[in-house]
Structure 1
């Protein structure tokens, strides 16, 4: 048996994989000298909590052999036990603590069995960091860099393979692990910052102890521990702190809908209703429309929400209040522990709707200035807008979600650039999509993007046409919303000939020491087009940092005319003579009279073209080359 008396309290035994998992909490099992269960183990989630939280309670999930029938007592202090619940498994006990008014403290829970034997669990209520509750989340002034950690940079080769984890490093296998890790991201924070990105969103870093295809991170097997092949909890905290010191926030990718089939819940399920469809695979319909369709039948709604993605991703039943609370507390725990600036929620609309309202409201109650973006993969603005807080919706649903991923705009940009210009095609698709912004509670807080980890790269979507890529990136880095750029987009990475996710998420050149010929971090080996693209992104992001008030302000656009789409970014100011940014996207070679924009340009104002510094008067006519994207500073 594992001897808990001989190991630091910072470690708990994972009984299913026999691996010591580093936790950031203070959790200690004490074997009582008389009548105590011998060599027993207990695990507790969350592993620690904080005094002074908005919510007055914390529910502990205690796991241990035969713990369900134990009685629980607490030593003296201001934390008290308000409820104790046992479910179907004899090995889980849910203990709710009332911590209202409790100070930061350590205390002991004693769990006593019917035969008089007992186990003691030491628990900590920690002091919150200064300003934790008022933390500012990411917003319109920011630009997000999306990273697939396994494919970005390998900073620590010692964790490429870990004993007890079946999925080993194989860089030749497109769906295999390639060795990228947290250290690799930290080693290249200077590159990310120098490019102009102010936020980093990584695909999930939590443990994915799956037999294969585990690199992507979306099959969680432990909600409280970083996968050791990426690093550790301490490494993630260090990464977040180091990024913050460089002025870069960290957004954590969270999965509320499903787990990996190797999660220990699949071997010992807390309750019979913990997993949807009685723990058996029934595929989801993916018909998110059923949640909004006034003609929908209940079975379609249930099949969408309760169905599984694939057999290896069991679908969680968030209607179970203990599971719901577990997921709420886990998110708060990571925000506090790692000092997060935001959360991205995978497959946001798939979990139970009532739970989503509860989860998001609890997070926003704790952190009123925080930001959370939900993935709702629909190109229908009415459906994406439904989930954003403040939107007008067809029912009285209480959504507190600040942001959603703007899939409608992404699709419209690709459609516009791959279509000929006419009265009903081309840039009109972008114009019409943005015209539906009245549906959203806050369109400027939408996350916009040219591509992401689940779709072909934008360079490939646009037929490897550099001019189209430039127009797309210029638009998406200057229009309303918070731009997100997938790693490698800045050097024209593509996936020609394959839409396999393993190819889309190819290794970033320079992230492995063995890649000596090409290094995008230093520029070594990049061709002229790749260097140009990298500098173009850098220049556009610099613009956002120089004029943050404009990108937090308003978008005013003109309907496309003769293949030209023109728009302005302005500050929230009534001064018509204040600084602006003008963007003109043109598919045709045209002479553009600036007097066409007298509502936005006033006589006496000067326009400076960002690309070459050339200046124009507001009464001039300017030449726009075909397939061009021109940005002007207006003063």
Structure 2
């Protein structure tokens, strides 16, 4: 009897262990990228990536009569990833579906949705020199919803006393301040990325005296298909874009195709063996030698660290030459646009990604959204390098990147030198003289600063007068002007993160509110009113946006140019000297100025100026700019 009991227990144990083994081998689904797609898109089939367990050898069956076809399966060796194509028959009905992920050990359902496409009206518009862009970091702009300051998913990352922690700004805060942006004269908004970032203190990106940081800036994604919980939800993002569009404001999305954050699950468990350039344990760090991207003499060896290198030695670097990576990144960009109705893309770290990828990626964006334009970040002061990445011609490598516009960093440096540091303004003229390098200089994005450098007012020798002259230049010269939040207040700030201070009045405990006139200091009112007037003049005077540029005066500290459009002409004159200067030059080659006329300074800084026989001669006050039209 005792032996029979032991035998029975033995059989039960075998059955139990067999059950555990079978359950352990049953496929599981943890994540699906993308979670949805649309019928009648230019990307069809869409490549789907499932992350889970026990996916080796899995087949994916689509629902009967759904209009969806699945094929071209690829499995990771460890069974954690499954790629497959989903072909969507034209006019497939929108709705929720379940794919059956099946192995010999069982199956699991994987939800997938066919969504309704966004209405095209007032979406996917692109931006042009008719626009003025306002760049903000949501976390540092305004806290509109205190309930997400320290969310359960990622507690302990909120602390306004620490520059590299979350401060509470969010998408609701941006929504609340849309009327403020409208009043300033802004027509487009660019925010830093809204991707979900790490849920814990970052002990990999550390600085002296700062043993841990957070992903408040948005550039360290752990999920490229999710909104960070500190900022809000997808519904809130859509609300922001819809309400911005209702006010006539465009919205530009910040995207990153070069890297993820160090805490992404892929970092130590990539979907393919070549997903990254290297591994966490074995990779090269980026050496920032951007010029190698345009060097016709370069070899892969000399370009490797610039293209394959990991930023600050910790950010996993995508290998865009892997076809699965290429498809994933292209689809991800299109998904964000179609889900939310963004008008343009700002793409991060342009020269650190192969140009072959940009050509394919940009072409895919243009096929689906012909009007959406792409702003590329190339942080370098060499106009030859910047122009090499602008669409409109092929480089010596035979590639047209499809990148519409770039930041005019070359002009940025000359502006800082002249108007902040008081060096010769002629350097600005010399930089404009290199416009011939660009396929289309008229669409470059001009600016005085962004989040990656000390602010204008932090430069040695910077003054409010110099700031206002610099603002006058970008608001009257070719290109699309971009304002960094706080520029309208002459905000100070040194290196990161000091250049990312909280906007005064955007947070519950703030003692004053600079979003209102009464909450601004005298200096802030002066600069804000000046910038608002510049925006008004730019809207009213067509030549300032789309006119031909004609240089009329290039002295060491004086400069003048006209913008001419059909029968209108606008003249902008600068005296960057600390003393008044006698200004004299010929304007007779401009039809509107060829005879005798009186010019009125629309900034009201200079008295009326006479044109006599096509010539101008007057005394220009020190550190002053004027915008002149015929009275």
What are the within-5 Å matches in structure 2 for residues 594-613 of structure 1?
595-599=586-590, 601-603=593-595, 605-612=597-604
Secondary structure at 1:448's aligned position in 2?
Answer: strand
Residues 473-513 of structure 1 show CA distances to partners (whole Å, capped at 9, x for unaligned) of 11011111111111001111112xxx331111011110112
Change in Cα spacing, 1:118 to 1:624, as seen in structure 2 (3 Å) is same
Q: How does 1:101-250 map to 2 (within 5 A)?
A: 101-106=90-95, 107-115=97-105, 117-131=106-120, 135-165=124-154, 167-209=156-198, 210-211=200-201, 212-250=213-251
Which of these residues, 619, 624, 630, is aligned with residue 628 of structure 1? 624
Determine if the alignment matches structure 1 residue 278 to structure 2 residue 279. Answer: yes
Worse-matched range after superposition: 366-375 or 100-109: 100-109
Distance in 1, Cα, partners of 2:42 & 2:321? 23
Structure-1 separation of matches of 2:112 and 2:277 = 32
Displacement, 1:317?
1.3
Equivalent residue number for residue 43 of structure 2: 55
Alignment: residue pair count:
588
**Cα offsets for 1:501-549 (capped at 9, x unmatched):** 1111011110112112x21101334221111001011111111222346
Q: Does the 8 A contact of 2:27 with 2:101 survive in 1?
A: no
CA contact (8 A) 1:254 1:345 kept: yes
3-state SS of paired residue (2:326): helix
Q: Distance in 1 between matches of 2:531 and 2:392?
A: 32
Q: For residue 11 of structure 2, what is the aligned residue in structure 1?
A: none
- Any idea what SS the aligned residue of 2:360 has? helix
* Equivalent-residue separation in structure 2 for 1:548 and 1:243 (angstroms): 24
**Equivalent pair of 2:394/2:400 in contact (CA under 8 Å):** no
Quick one: which of 366, 369, 390 aligns to 1:367? 369
Which secondary structure does the structure 2 equivalent of 1:235 belong to? helix
Aligned to 1:587: 576
- CA contact 1:491–1:533 (8 Å) conserved in 2: yes
Give 1:3's aligned residue.
none
Question: Does the 8 A contact of 2:392 with 2:400 survive in 1?
Answer: no
Alpha carbons 2:552, 2:587 under 8 Å: kept: no
- Three-state SS of the structure 2 residue aligned to 1:179 is coil
1:539 aligns with 533
Alignment TM-score, normalising by the size of structure 1? 0.88
Within 5 A, what are the aligned runs for 1:279-428? 279-280=280-281, 281-391=283-393, 393-417=395-419, 426-428=424-426
Distance apart, 1:416 and its partner CA: 2.6
Determine the C-alpha separation between the residues in 2 that align with 1:602 and 1:44.
67
- Taking the aligned partners of 1:76 and 1:370, their CA distance within structure 2 comes to 35
> What residue number does 1:552 align with?
546
Moved more, 376-385 or 386-395: 386-395
Q: 2:517 aligns with which of 498, 504, 523?
A: 523
Compute the RMSD of aligned alpha carbons.
Answer: 2.4
Q: Following TM superposition, by how much is the alpha carbon of 1:418 offset from its aligned partner in structure 2, in angstroms?
A: 5.5
**Shift, 1:55, TM fit:** 2.8
Q: Give the aligned partner of residue 29 of structure 1.
A: none
Q: Which structure 2 segments of 5+ residues have no match?
A: 1-22, 202-212
Q: Would you tell me which structure has more helix in proportion to its own residues?
A: 2
Distance 1:89 1:167 in 2: 34
Deviation, 1:166, is: 5.0
Q: Give 1:12-91 correspondences, 5 Å limit.
A: 40-74=28-62, 75-91=64-80
Q: CA deviation at 1:38?
A: 7.5
1:111 to partner: Cα distance: 1.6
Separation of aligned partners in 1, 2:372 and 2:437: 22
Distance 2:228 2:65 in 1: 37
Q: Give the one of 564, 575, 589 matched to 1:570.
A: 564
Residues 327-350 of structure 1 deviation map (CA, whole Å, 9 limit, x = unaligned): 111111111111101111111111
Q: Shift in Å at residue 550 of structure 1? A: 4.0
CA contact (8 A) 2:237 2:340 kept: yes
Alpha-carbon separation, structure 1, partners of 2:468 and 2:123? 38
**Cα deviation per residue 1:155-202 (whole Å; 9 max; x = unaligned)?**
111111112315521111122211111111111111111000111111
Is the radius of gyration larger for structure 1 or structure 2? 2
Q: 1:373 touches 1:402 (CA, 8 Å); kept in 2?
A: yes
**In the alignment, is the contact (CA less than 8 A) between 2:196 and 2:223 conserved in 1?**
yes
2:504 aligns with: 509
| Residue 40 (structure 1) shift | 4.1
| Residues 593-633 of structure 1: per-residue CA shift (max 9 Å, x gap) | 46445435232555321123965443264431011111113
**1:283 and 1:308 in contact (8 A); partners too:** yes
For residue 517 of structure 2, give the secondary structure of its aligned residue in structure 1.
Answer: coil
1:347-366 per-residue CA deviation (whole Å, 9 max, x = no partner) reads: 11112322222111111111
Higher mean C-alpha deviation, range 448-457 or range 260-269: 260-269
In 2, Cα distance between the equivalents of 1:432 and 1:391? Answer: 24
> Is the 8 Å Cα contact of residues 259 and 313 (structure 1) preserved in structure 2?
yes
Work out whether residues 28 and 55 of structure 2, in 8 Å CA contact, stay in contact via their aligned partners in 1.
no
